[in-house]
Structure 1
Amino acid sequence: MNQRKECEEAAKSLRAEHEHLASVVKGVHKRLRREYRASSQQHEAVWQQHSQDQASLKLYAEAMFRLATEHWTVYPETRIDWCRKVAREYFLQDGLRIALEKDLKRAKHKKQAEMLSSSKVSDLSKSTQKFVQTSPTDVDVCDEEFDTERSKSRSDACPVVTVPFTCKIRLLDVGSCYNPFLGSEDFDAVGLDLSPAVPTVIQCDFLQLVSSSLPPPSDPLTFDLNTLSSPLQRLPACSFHVVVFSLLLEYLPSPLQRWRCCVTAHGLLAINGLLLVITPDSHSQHRNAPMMKSWKMALESLGFMRWKYEKKDHIHCMAFRKVISKPSLMTRSLDPGTDGTNIQPAEMLYIPQDFNDACYDDVLDKTQKNNEDEDEDDSSNFLSAACELPMYNDDDNY
Structure 2
Amino acid sequence: MEEKREIDVKTDRKKVNKASEKHKQLAHFIKSVHTQLRKDSEVFGAKEAWNTHIAQKEKLKEYAKSMYQLATKHWGQKSQSSEKISCRVEWIKSKCKDYFFNGGVDKYDEKEQHLLEKDTPESCRVERVENFEAWVISKITVLDVGSCYNPFATENSFIVTAVDIAPYSSDVLKCDFLNLNVGSERKVTECNNALIELPKNSCDVVIFSLLLEYIPCPDQRFSCCKKAYELLRDRGILFIATPDSKHQGSNAKIINTSWKVVLAKLGFMRICYEKLPHLHCMMFRKCCFKEAAMKKINWKKIPENDELYSLMKIFIPQDFQSKNVNDDTDDDLQQFEHNDQESLALFNELPCEI
| TM-score (normalised: structure 2) | 0.82
Q: 2:25 aligned to 17, 20, 27, which one?
A: 20
Q: Write out aligned runs for 1:163-312 (5 A).
A: 163=135, 165-213=136-184, 230-292=193-255, 293-312=257-276
Q: Secondary structure at the match of 2:195?
A: coil
Query: 2:240 touches 2:281 (CA, 8 Å); kept in 1?
Result: yes
The offset of 1:344, in angstroms, is 2.1
Cα gap change, 1:342 to 1:377, in 2 (>3 Å): closer
Alpha-carbon distance in 2 for matches of 1:47, 1:342? 23
Which residue is equivalent to 1:314?
A: 278
Q: 1:72 aligned to 55, 60, 75, which one?
A: 75
Could you tell me which amino acid in structure 1 is paired with residue 173 of structure 2?
Answer: I
Which residue is equivalent to 2:127?
A: 145
Alpha-carbon distance in 2 for matches of 1:103, 1:338? 26
Q: Secondary structure at the match of 2:182?
A: strand
Alpha-carbon distance in 2 for matches of 1:62, 1:71? 13
Is structure 2 residue 135 aligned with structure 1 residue 95? no
Higher relative contact order, chain-length normalized (CA < 8 Å, sep 6+): 2
Which residue is equivalent to 1:38?
A: 43
Alpha-carbon distance in 2 for matches of 1:224, 1:340? 40
Alpha-carbon distance in 2 for matches of 1:20, 1:161? 51
Query: 2:187 touches 2:197 (CA, 8 Å); kept in 1?
Result: no
Cα gap change, 1:340 to 1:322, in 2 (>3 Å): closer
Alpha-carbon distance in 2 for matches of 1:261, 1:36? 17
The offset of 1:98, in angstroms, is 1.4
Could you tell me which amino acid in structure 2 is paired with residue 17 of structure 1?
Answer: K
Which residue is equivalent to 1:367?
A: none
Which residue is equivalent to 1:54?
A: 57
Which residue is equivalent to 1:365?
A: none
Deviations 1:211-255 (A, max 9, x none): 1246xxxxxxxx899x9x821110001111000000000001100
The number of residue pairs the alignment matches comes to 323
Structure with max Cα Rg: 1
Task: Pick which of 313-322 and 349-358 moved more.
Answer: 349-358
Query: 1:210 touches 1:234 (CA, 8 Å); kept in 2?
Result: yes
Task: Pick which of 184-193 and 376-385 moved more.
Answer: 376-385
Is structure 2 residue 311 aligned with structure 1 residue 345? yes
Gaps of 5+ in 1: 119-123, 125-143, 151-159, 215-222, 359-371, 387-398
Task: Pick which of 72-81 and 376-385 moved more.
Answer: 376-385
Which residue is equivalent to 2:327?
A: none
Could you tell me which amino acid in structure 2 is paired with residue 4 of structure 1?
Answer: V
Alpha-carbon distance in 2 for matches of 1:186, 1:87? 10
Which residue is equivalent to 2:350?
A: 384
The offset of 1:38, in angstroms, is 1.7
| TM-score (normalised: structure 1) | 0.73
Cα gap change, 1:15 to 1:231, in 2 (>3 Å): same
Alpha-carbon distance in 2 for matches of 1:81, 1:274? 16
Query: 2:272 touches 2:282 (CA, 8 Å); kept in 1?
Result: yes
Could you tell me which amino acid in structure 2 is paired with residue 346 of structure 1?
Answer: M
The offset of 1:341, in angstroms, is 8.0
Cα gap change, 1:34 to 1:239, in 2 (>3 Å): same
Q: Secondary structure at the match of 1:251?
A: coil
The offset of 1:26, in angstroms, is 0.5
Query: 1:335 touches 1:342 (CA, 8 Å); kept in 2?
Result: no
Deviations 1:139-181 (A, max 9, x none): xxxxx92247x4xxxxxxxxx7744x33200100000000111
The offset of 1:346, in angstroms, is 2.9
Could you tell me which amino acid in structure 2 is paired with residue 78 of structure 1?
Answer: C
Q: 1:104 aligned to 100, 110, 113, which one?
A: 113
Q: 2:9 aligned to 4, 8, 21, which one?
A: 4
Alpha-carbon distance in 2 for matches of 1:23, 1:84? 29
Alpha-carbon distance in 1 for matches of 2:52, 2:117? 52
Work out the percentage of aligned pairs sharing the same amino acid.
Answer: 35
Q: Secondary structure at the match of 1:250?
A: coil
Alpha-carbon distance in 1 for matches of 2:219, 2:107? 33
Cα gap change, 1:104 to 1:325, in 2 (>3 Å): closer
Cα gap change, 1:7 to 1:166, in 2 (>3 Å): same
Gaps of 5+ in 2: 1-5, 81-85, 324-336
Deviations 1:368-389 (A, max 9, x none): xxxx997754222322246xxx
Alpha-carbon distance in 2 for matches of 1:16, 1:162? 53
Alpha-carbon distance in 2 for matches of 1:242, 1:78? 18
The offset of 1:90, in angstroms, is 0.8
Query: 1:244 touches 1:275 (CA, 8 Å); kept in 2?
Result: yes
